[in-house]
Each structure stands twice: as C-alpha cells, then as structure tokens.
Amino acid sequence: MAGQILFFALAVTAIAAGVGVVWSRSPINSALWLILNLFCIAGLYLTLNAQFIAVIQILVYAGAIMVLFLFVIMLLNLSEMPSVTRFTIARLFGFFLVMGVLALLTYAVAAGLDVLPERIVPAAAAVSGSPSTLARSLFTEYALPFEIIGILLLAATVGAVIIAKRKPV
Amino acid sequence: MEMTLNWYLTLSSVLFITGTLGFLFRRNIIVMLMSIELMLNAVNLTLVALSQAAADTAGQILVFFVIAVAAAEAAVGLAIVIAVFRGRQTIDISKIKSFRY
Amino acid sequence: MFEDYIPFFIQLAIASGLSLTLLKGGELLGPSRPNRIKIMPYESGMDPVGSARQRYSIKFYLVAMIFIVFDVEIVFLYPWAISFQDFLAAGVGLEVLGIVIVFIVILAIGLIYDIKKGGLEFD
C-alpha cells in the first residue's frame, strides 16, 4: 500500500510540476518546476527498479541541463521578464499538502475501482537497473550506437561553439 | 502486471501531452525547449516501464542514448537562442520571422 | 522495487521537512526589525551601484556547455568502470577498452577544437 501511495504522490506531483512548467509566466519559474518534475520522474525510475537511470536522471538532467537553462535565462537577462511571484515556504508546504491530498484521493478512487498498480512482475527474473547489468549490453551489443553518440556529442560541441562564438552581425 | 503498466503509460502520456501543449502555446523559446525536455522525459518513462515489463535491458540502454541526445539538443538549442537574441534582442517566437538578421 | 526504496523516501521526506521547518521556524520565532541599512546587500561595506542583473560573457556559456558534454561522457564511462573486472573475466576486456578509448578520443577532438578556437580563454 505504501508503494502505491508513493507512486500516486510522485505521479501527481510530476503532473502538477509539468503543468507548472507550461503555466508559469516567468522562465525561471518554469525551470524550477521542471527540476521538481525531473526529481519526481527519478523517483518513479526507482519504483521501476532502474536505479542507475534514476541517478543519471538527476546528474545529467537536474544537474547539468537545467543549470544550462537557468544559465541562459540569466545570460540573456530579459528586461521584459515578468516579476516572479514571491516564493514562501508556506506556499511550498501548501503545494505538497495539496498534492498529498490529491494523491490519497487518486489512491482511494483507484482502490475503489480495483485498478491499483501492482508490481511489474516480468516473466523472467526481474531486470536489475544496476550499472553492471547495463554495461554488459551497452559495451557489447550496443557498441556502435555508443560510438555514434560520441560523434553526436562532438557535433554538439563544435556546433555550439560555432553558433555562440559568432560575432554579432 | 497489465494494470501497472497502464498506470505508468497513462502518467507518461499525460506528461507528454503537457509538454506538447507547452510547445504549441508558449511563445518563449526557452520555455518551448523546456517543454521538449518534458516530452523526452515522458518517453523515457515509457521506455523504462516497458523495459521492466518485458524483462529486457534494451529499453534502459535506449534511455541512455535519449539522455545524451537531450544534452546535445539543449546545448545546441540554447546556443541558437543566444545567437538569435544577440541579433534581435528578443526570444519571442512570434517576433522572429527569419534566421537572417 | 516499490518497497525497497521506502526507507529512502522516508529519509528524504524527513530531511527536507526538517530543514524547511527550521527555516520557517527561525523566520517565525526570531525578532525581525528590518530597516534600510540592515537589508542592504553589504551592510557595512560599499553601497551597491547599479543593478545586480548584468549580462554575462558568452564564455561562461561555452564552459557550461563543455561541462554538459563531459558530464554525459562520465555517465557513459561509469558502467564500464564498474564492470571492468567482469569484462576482463569474460575475456573481452581489451576490446571494450578499445571501444571506450575511441569514444574518449572522439570527445577529446571537440575539446581540442574548442581550445584552438579560444573558447576557454578569459581575457
């Protein structure tokens, strides 16, 4: 039961944060909502037994990509940016409280309809998302896609340098 | 088992639709890029859930590649945003008609 | 699966709840008598001049972008480092090492290009 409530809490918060990304007037608020959404999805990966994916979700997405986004927002320093709504801890508490109540309600409705999520039990032994399991297929079966990703990242580096360093016309 | 997968797929479709709506209706390029990240995340969630249900690590490997592509996309996309902004001082997509300044 | 991580989530909830409670508690319980001098960014230093929001140089963006690329590289190398012994035991250690070295060389080309272009020079 605790696992199911956990799923609903993460799912409801993820959806609310996703709506927040789209709804916020200020790009900074959108970015902060997106970070909350990424953390919730990382929690969902944990419930799916994909530990390594959950960790790199936080490392790469929340840690690096979102830093780049916030960075560009500050780099551009938009003068017409709408003022950010005042952030208070009370509002944060309120948000999580409302999400918790909504998650409980969803859980109750799902329990009433008898469609609660159960563990995904695969036919074979459970797939572990540990790094060594992933490495076994990543570096043997998927070696060529792995190298192509290297070329993609190289192209991204070169392209971004060329585009960003060009002198303004 | 069937039921659980449905819940994960429902969640990811809701997130994907949210991202699509954000991409279609926002006029700020940076928020549009963030909506794309939202959509990519919804797809990743689907991949991980299906990989778990099918007892196959291929889905999780694919998530690796999607994350790498997302990083490259964010780097180049934001570089383009910076270049466009330097030329015309706006990131409102409806005010940008062409790449040439 | 679900149940294995419940202690982790409980700890997460307690840690974030405690820190937020302490922050809010300090704000509510402590006396607060702000005046114009007290709320200045440097209370006993220089008077602030101009706006705090200034545009940064493009160099910072290039550094952040290179950080992302190499962050992703590390994410790919981590599973390899974890199971290096397994690959050796399976007799494919050297082949996998070759694959990884090719990957690193491909990314190093980008870094060298960036340094040649002067993307990392601050002046």
Which residues in chain B have Cβ-Cβ distances shorter than 8 Å to A115?
Answer: 3, 6-7
Q: Which domain holds residue B6?
A: 2-95
Report the residue of chain B nearest A143, measured CA to CA: B61
- A44 Cβ contact partners less than 8 Å away, ≥ 6 residues apart: A7, A10, A11, A14, B8, B11, B45
Spatial contact of C79 and A135, defined as CB atoms under 8 Å apart: yes
Report the residue of chain A nearest B51, measured CA to CA: A127
Among residues of chain C, what percentage have pLDDT more than 70? Answer: 87
Structure confidence by residue, pLDDT tens digits, B4-61: 778 888 898 899 989 888 888 888 888 889 999 999 999 999 898 888 887 788 888 8
The stretch A72-81 carries a mean pLDDT of: 69
pLDDT of residue A91: 75
Between residues A165 and A163, the one the model is more confident about: A163
DSSP string computed for chain A: -HHHHHHHHHHHHHHHHHHHHHH-SSHHHHHHHHHHHHHHHHHHHHHTT-HHHHHHIIIIIIIIIHHHHHHHHHHHT-TTPPPPPPP-HHHHHHHHHHHHHHHHHHHHHHHHHT--------SSSPPP--HHHHHHHHTTTTHHHHHHHHHHHHHHHHHHHHHHHSPP-
Which of the residue ranges A3-7, A83-87, C87-91 has the most confident prediction, judged by mean pLDDT? C87-91
pLDDT band with cut points at 50, 70 and 90 for residue A133: confident
Assigned domain for B67 exists: yes
Q: Which of A96, C78, A35, A66 is nearest to B30 (CA)?
A: A66
ipTM of the complex: 0.88
Assigned domain for B100 exists: no
pLDDT of residue B2: 47
pLDDT band with cut points at 50, 70 and 90 for residue A82: low
The total number of residues shown for chain C amounts to 123
Residues 10-69 of A with CB under 8 A from C: 43, 46-49, 52, 56, 59-60, 63-65, 67-68
pLDDT band with cut points at 50, 70 and 90 for residue B1: very low
Could you give the number of structural domains in chain B? Answer: 1
Write down which chains contact chain C via at least 3 CB pairs under 8 A. A, B
pLDDT at C26 over 60: yes
Structure tokens, A68: 């780049």
The stretch B66-79 carries a mean pLDDT of: 90
Structure confidence by residue, pLDDT tens digits, B47-61: 988 888 877 888 888
Domains along chain A with CATH numbers? 2-124 (1.20.120.1200)
Q: Report the CATH number that the domain containing residue B28 is assigned in CATH.
A: 1.10.287.3510
The stretch B62-79 carries a mean pLDDT of: 90
Assigned domain for B37 exists: yes
pLDDT at A80 over 60: no
Write down which chains contact chain A via at least 3 CB pairs under 8 A. B, C
